[in-house]
Amino acid sequence: MRKNLGVQPALFPMPVAIVAAYGEDGKVCAMNAAWVQICDMDKIALFIDEEHKTTANIRHSKAFTVSIADVPNMEAADFFGIATGNKMPDKFERTGYHAEKSEFVNAPVITEFPVTLECELAEIVNTENLHAVVGKIVNVSADEKVVGDKDKIDPVKVNALIFDQFRSGYYSVGEKAGQAWNAGKGLMNK
């Protein structure tokens, strides 16, 4: 029997993504954003509020990076979500993490995270029901440890964090359960 739970943001899993941009002062600003989604082969959408310091920095710099947070970096990833750059100007420095300027866009690559999407600002969509920062993916850089065959990211090696909105928990990506575009082929001939 099913139970009605009312309105909840009940989608699982959600990525733990670290969005970073340079501020007007040239300092690195980073935030934890779970409401992030690929929206085309070369586009990503960040569903983040207008009030975030990172949003203002993206507007200014016209670029940002999105890193996949992993289990070894959970403490800093969580900190990027609970501290606000609007009230803590040394937020990034407190982590002791390092950033290098992207070769492709005017945005920082946080070197501790294993995978980073480097993006140019494509547009900001602001309607009554939606605020989204859309970026054009210009490059993806990754630590060699997480790159598998044919220069593809190996999700098991990344050990990515996923966010559970039901109980505010973090989980790690587990083992492969099946092959996409193949697991359902048996139903094609029914």
Q: Mind listing the pLDDT tens digit for each residue in 145-188?
A: 999 999 999 999 999 999 998 888 999 988 888 999 999 988 98
Q: Are 70 and 158 in contact (CB under 8 A)?
A: yes
CATH number, residue 93:
2.30.110.10
* Rounded Cα distance, 122 and 160, in Å: 26
On whether residue 54 sits in a domain, the answer given is yes
Reported as a single tens digit per residue, the pLDDT across 77-99 is 999 999 999 999 999 999 999 99
**pTM, 2 dp:** 0.94
On whether residue 7 sits in a domain, the answer given is no
On whether residue 8 sits in a domain, the answer given is no
How many domains are contained in the chain? Answer: 1
On whether residue 84 sits in a domain, the answer given is yes
Parent domain of 85: 14-177
On whether residue 47 sits in a domain, the answer given is yes
